[in-house]
Amino acid sequence: MKTAGWIFIVIGVLAFIGAASKGHSVFGPLFWIGIGSVLIYLKREKEVTNAEKTIVKPIEPKQPEKTQVREEKAETNNAEQCAPVTFEQKEAALCLIAFFAGYNDDLTTDGSAYMVSYQSAIFFGIGNYKETLTTALPKYQDADKLIDTVLTIKDRKSREFILLTCYDLTKMSGKAEAFEFLYNIANEMGYDKERLHKLIDQYSERPAYS
């Protein structure tokens, strides 16, 4: 296309000179000069376009996660750790703690196991402990349902309170099956045996069960 354009221009220029010298019309020669110029222009534009297409754009490095996004994630995690506990979850927590109290032989209202269990009502803001527990126990005759409901509690302080209270009751009973059951529940909450004992040591000077 470029070569043809130059040919048309050369022909047009020669014809223009000849026509002008003889006094003839120069319209024809100018027409060929114009066609040649257009062909050269189009060829040049095509070359520029092809060159732009072959240029490889550098890949921008992946930007690190913005501080704002990280802060939003941290706020979400904190919100889950401080999530409100529903009344249903509180009932399930009371029942689970009462279950561990049942490993103890002395369950009179004057006994230490009862007093430890009663602390759960104070912690969860339940004034009528006996009535609430009596009403809730029939709902959780299925142990799986009871544990599943307790595991829905996301508040970290509430989870740790439940584990520590159940540990106190388990330690009072001294029964191996109670410890095994406690470790299983703690593991479901994300506390393996090592982490559970660290929690116990953090809140109590008494030696942990081994």
Distances in Å between the alpha carbon of 38 and those of 8, 27, 32, 148, 197? 10, 17, 10, 80, 87
Predicted TM-score (pTM) above 0.85: no
Q: Which residue in the block uniquely carries the two structure tokens 């103890």? A: 104
Instruction: Encode pLDDT of 112-160 as tens digits.
Output: 888 888 999 999 999 889 899 999 989 888 889 999 999 999 999 999 9
Positive/negative CA dihedral, 70, 199, 146, 113: negative
Closest CA to 136 of 101, 97, 189: 97
DSSP label of 137 = G
Give, for all 210 residues of the chain, the pLDDT tens digit. Answer: 556 555 555 565 555 566 566 665 645 555 545 555 544 555 566 665 666 666 555 555 555 555 554 555 444 445 446 679 999 999 999 999 999 998 887 666 668 888 888 999 999 999 889 899 999 989 888 889 999 999 999 999 999 999 999 999 999 999 999 999 999 999 999 999 999 999 999 886 544 444
> Within 10 Å of residue 84's Cβ, how many Cβ atoms?
9
> Within 10 Å of residue 140's Cβ, how many Cβ atoms?
21
Look at residue 151 in the predicted model and tell me its pLDDT: 95
Alpha carbon distance 189, 74 (integer Å): 20
Query: Quick check: helix, strand or coil at residue 168?
Result: helix
Look at residue 111 in the predicted model and tell me its pLDDT: 80
Cα first-last separation, the chain: 91
